[in-house]
Amino acid sequence: MHSENNSWILSAQCPSRLGTVDVVTRFLKEQGCYITELHSFDDYRGGQFFIRAAFLPEQADFDGGDFREQFNARASAFDMHFELTPPDYRLPVVIMVSKTDHCLNDLLYRYRTGQLAIDVRAIVSNHPDLEPLAAWHGLPYHHLPITPETKAEQEAQVRRVVEESGAELVILARYMQVLSPELCHHFAGRAINIHHSLLPGFKGAKPYHQAYEKGVKLVGATAHYINDDLDEGPIIAQGVEAVDHAHYPEDLVARGRDIECLTLARAVRYHLQKRVFLHAGRTVVLTG
């Protein structure tokens, strides 16, 4: 069995055309690369093709830069945009959080044990409460308070932390502030948020208590890229679990937290493994 961590990843998208699979697989064969995983999808409505190939080079002196240069000559004929990700690449991230710590705890555990191939560069919060947790992990903690009057200044500080850290992804692990449209645009396609998903959608204070009063039968969570619409960005992953009348509000809250942790971690993993493609305001997720 081949490990995902040992494989290079070639991910690409282009307009739907004859030969799109062939241009990828034929080139990999010519380069002496053994494909360990291959998934593709053709969106006939949008006229867009997506492909992801994980592969192992047979030659010991495989050169990623030379591979990119040679494949670009083939891909350009298909208007194909592609990324080549080396094995064991650890994606640099900044995590944003407020006071609730379950998602942050889960991400840091997976980071510390190597379950998520991320490199946490910093934690940003509008509250000081979770600084001891960051310190235990030896991570920089930026306490950036925010008020309606200081929102623009605080968001400028957030951008500065992300840029100076070199982070390629921002994870909102229960960051309980609405980002401005300007910051959403700046982080488009590289910021993932998590929130509860209840049917019907209970908004406002204590949503799980509202759900309990209505006898809710499903609780869940949604992880998505941020955009201008609150909690309505392109969806990456969702989780759901059945509940019943025996689940009191505190039980629903506990179940919801567990699902949020699992769903956020899954979304981050899909993103860093180059399984997620954005097109026309929605996602294509090649999970297999």
Q: Which residues are catalytic?
A: 231
Tokens of 62: 């495989």
Report CA-CA distances (Å) from 154 to 63, 80, 97, 109, 145: 43, 38, 14, 28, 7
| CA dist list (Å): 285 to 134, 189, 261 | 31, 13, 19
- 209's tokens: 């208590």
Parallel, antiparallel, or unpaired for β 276-279 and 81-85?
unpaired
Structural tokens at position 99: 């006071």
**Contact between residue 116 and residue 107 where contact means Cβ atoms under 8 Å apart:** yes
